Structure 1
Amino acid sequence: MSTARDEIFASIRRSLGVTGRERPRRDVVTERIARAPAGVVPARGAVTGRTRIDLFIAQAEAALATVSEVDAPDAVPAAIAQWLRAHNLAATLRMGADPRLSAMPWGDTPLAIDEGPSDGSDLNAVSHAEAGVAETGTCVLVSGPHNPSTLNFLPDNHVIVVQAADVAGDYESVWSWLRERFGKGVMPRTVNWVTGPSRSADIEQTMFLGAHGPRRLHIVVVGGRGETPAS
């Protein structure tokens, strides 16, 4: 059974006098996908060094996230425990199987750690981002057992750890990184771009946090304080 979409495309092909299987046309499509040309990139993200980290933090905070910085991965658990305590939140945390998180000294904190996807009953979760985007203060997370996507949406409070070295200036740079890291054909099933906590102003134009996901988002930036300002 043909669909309306099939009929529309068939009509376009008839008007152009093509079938869609012509070798030159298929080669053009294959080449474009392989080359993955970038679109217009905003100038705001064209910064480097400490200036890029400062922009990332400023944009994240403008989107209602909170941010802390640590010098090394070993300092991450204490920073998260301090943030939970400062907000009078339970000393519990769920995480996936990301080896970067597993290697951190969680035993040095009072946090009770659970592993695996969330079933919706968790108050707090931590994920490790693949990258950050300075132009919007966005964290980029890929799906899989290392960082289950349920941790992005179900807990009330979400903490994201991102390496300063993985903060890019713009979205296009991050897509290039992901293609290089995973390769075509083995990209993660889902790439989530998280900018601030979940919020909505659909009802009476009143801002409501936690509308479709976490009501709090805290970002821990690792290793950015040693960056030098852009010249």
Structure 2
Amino acid sequence: MSSRDRIFATLRAGLKHTVDDPARPQAVTERINRRTPNLVPQRAQIPHAEQVALFTAKVEALTVTVDSVPSEQDVPGKVADYLARHNLPSQLRVSPDPLLQNLPWSERPMLQVDYGGGRSQDLVSVTPAFAGIAETGTLMLHSSTTTPTTLHFVPDHHIVVMRESQITGSLEDAFARLRDKLGTADKTAAENWPRTVNFVTGPSRTADIEGVPVLGAHGPRRLHIVLIADGTP
């Protein structure tokens, strides 16, 4: 028996559960489908334009930089401006996501766009986000074949491209959108669910050692958002 199997066997014994108990999957399915919302703060239950302004204010307070652009056509230029502002090379490691693949990168021929997961040599990644949460200024990111999680954490600079319509008021709202997109608890839908859902609030930072804040300890030291104005969801 492997260490993993021993750990789960010990947990099952403590909970008095068996491996083939048919009631357990049914209970999990019912709980997922019921999904009673938790307490939702009122501060983000505001018109969508105000949610966008609140989200922007929250992320900027966390040392995140934001560029607002009128259309997707303007994104490559803002990415190039970011690289120039921080004296970075022109190489980008980009999520193979349809939103990013369809951007007019060719209008900025100096940019070297390479698609795939994050690698140790990558300084700058460009990814989409699933949602932006206005109440806390948090990005909701999930893994998939077109959104490798390594791009969220390996490079020093993380550039997120997202639409204003992806901004929600609360965490509960963001999860409701994820369920609407990926389904509920039936077997087919479950296969579409991501292995990880990450919540990113500002650049990576820690003060574990002598209480001194350090940026980039567990992820990017800089986070930049290019926000495409596309109205309400």
TM-score, reference length from structure 1 = 0.86
Please, which runs of 5 or more residues in structure 2 have no aligned partner? Answer: 1-5, 185-189
- Residues 97-116 of structure 1: pairs in structure 2 closer than 5 A: 97-109=96-108, 110-116=110-116
Give deviations 1:141-199, integer Å, cap 9, x for gaps: 22123121111011110000111001000011111111110113121111121111110
Query: What amino acid is aligned across from residue 32 of structure 1 in structure 2?
Result: R
Shift, 1:22, TM fit: 9.0
Shift, 1:32, TM fit: 2.6
Shift, 1:88, TM fit: 1.4
State the match for 1:83 in structure 2.
82
Equivalent position SS for 2:87: coil
- Kindly tell me: are residues 136 and 30 of structure 1, through their superposed partners in 2, closer, same or farther at Cα, counting changes over 3 Å? same
- Residues 135-146 of structure 1: pairs in structure 2 closer than 5 A: 135-146=135-146
Which of 7, 14, 20 is the aligned partner of 2:13? 7
Shift, 1:112, TM fit: 0.9
1:175 matches 2:175: yes
- Residues in 2 aligned to 1:157 and 1:22: alpha-carbon distance in whole angstroms: 47
1:43 matches 2:49: no
Give deviations 1:34-60, integer Å, cap 9, x for gaps: 121111112222122221111101111
- Kindly tell me: are residues 107 and 27 of structure 1, through their superposed partners in 2, closer, same or farther at Cα, counting changes over 3 Å? closer
Which of 197, 201, 204 is the aligned partner of 1:198? 204
Q: Equivalent pairs: percent with the same residue?
A: 41
- Kindly tell me: are residues 28 and 156 of structure 1, through their superposed partners in 2, closer, same or farther at Cα, counting changes over 3 Å? closer
Give deviations 1:79-103, integer Å, cap 9, x for gaps: 1111111111112211121011111
Equivalent position SS for 2:103: coil
Query: What amino acid is aligned across from residue 130 of structure 2 in structure 1?
Result: E
State the match for 1:16 in structure 2.
none
Please, which runs of 5 or more residues in structure 1 have no aligned partner? Answer: 14-19
Structure number with greater Rg is 1
C-alpha root-mean-square deviation of aligned residues, in Å?
2.1
1:210 matches 2:216: yes
State the match for 1:156 in structure 2.
156
Would you say the 8 A contact 1:96–1:145 is kept in 2?
no
